[in-house]
Amino acid sequence: MNSLNNTKPSLHTVLTPQLLDLYEIKDSIVVIIDVFRATSTIATALYNGASKVIPVDTAELCIEVGKQTGGVTVGERDGKIIPGLSYGNSPSEYPRSFIENKTLVITTTNGTKLLHMALKQGAKNIITGSFPNLSKVVEFLKSQNAPVILGCSGWKNKFNIEDVLFAGAVIEEVKAHFEILCDSSFMANQLYLQQKDHLTEYIKTVTHWNRLAAFGLEADMLYCISRDTAPSLPLFKEGALVNQA
């Protein structure tokens, strides 16, 4: 966009991967959001010095790419490490002392799928977003002057509140810079404004909290709604997420 053109770029929020095809993805920046817990873990591992994170669709591919790259294989189903992989999907498993200069190969149910869909539909740039790296995401979006898609990973294609809350937090910071004509974005922003001063209590009411709390993951989830604790910018380049912060 040149300096004579004052039109602001658009911003849309996609509530679940099943709605992605309704939006203009080509030439947009897509922010993949999977608050519980994939994108929070990715932000944390990269902030703590991981050299890159390779997202893959299946456990089989995770094992294979792990072998090829010498990377750490990561994935859970129902709160347990997937047989054949080495680590789980908790940000707490990736302190600097462990992950620095290592490659992570991660498979997740929802976020990875959405990332590959966005890639296939010709996204200009793909980054991942979560409360631990919120400010870096905001900074990047404000600097690019390009259309933005906030892509919520949800749960098996259904709508998840925690992802939309994060979208609302991003919108609150960037809305002066974009043209927003999108009910999903209005709703996300309103929900965030309504709940932001008591997020810790509020988050305990959502379905995903209850699903993961049954596996003892409360501390993980509280970390995942903490702002700017892992200020990295995971940008997808040549098959992997690398820290551009």
Binding interface with a copy of itself (CB under 8 A): 15-16, 18-19, 22, 156-161, 164, 181-184, 186-187, 190-191, 194, 205-208, 210
The first and second tokens of residue 165, run together, are 């809350």
Q: In this complex, which beta carbon is closest to a copy of itself, that of residue 98 or of residue 186? A: 186
Q: In this complex, which beta carbon is closest to a copy of itself, that of residue 96 or of residue 158? A: 158
Q: In this complex, which beta carbon is closest to a copy of itself, that of residue 39 or of residue 160? A: 160
Alpha carbons 226 and 176: distance in angstroms, whole number? 24
Closest approach, Cβ 138 to a copy of itself, in A, equals 23
Closest approach, Cβ 217 to a copy of itself, in A, equals 17
Residue 179: phi, psi to the nearest 5?
A: -95, 115
Closest approach, Cβ 15 to a copy of itself, in A, equals 6
Closest approach, Cβ 9 to a copy of itself, in A, equals 17
Closest approach, Cβ 141 to a copy of itself, in A, equals 21
Q: In this complex, which beta carbon is closest to a copy of itself, that of residue 75 or of residue 151? A: 151
Q: In this complex, which beta carbon is closest to a copy of itself, that of residue 98 or of residue 159? A: 159
216 sits in the region (left: phi over 0; alpha: psi -120 to 50; else beta) called left
Asked whether the beta carbons of 153 and 34 are under 8 A apart, the reply is yes
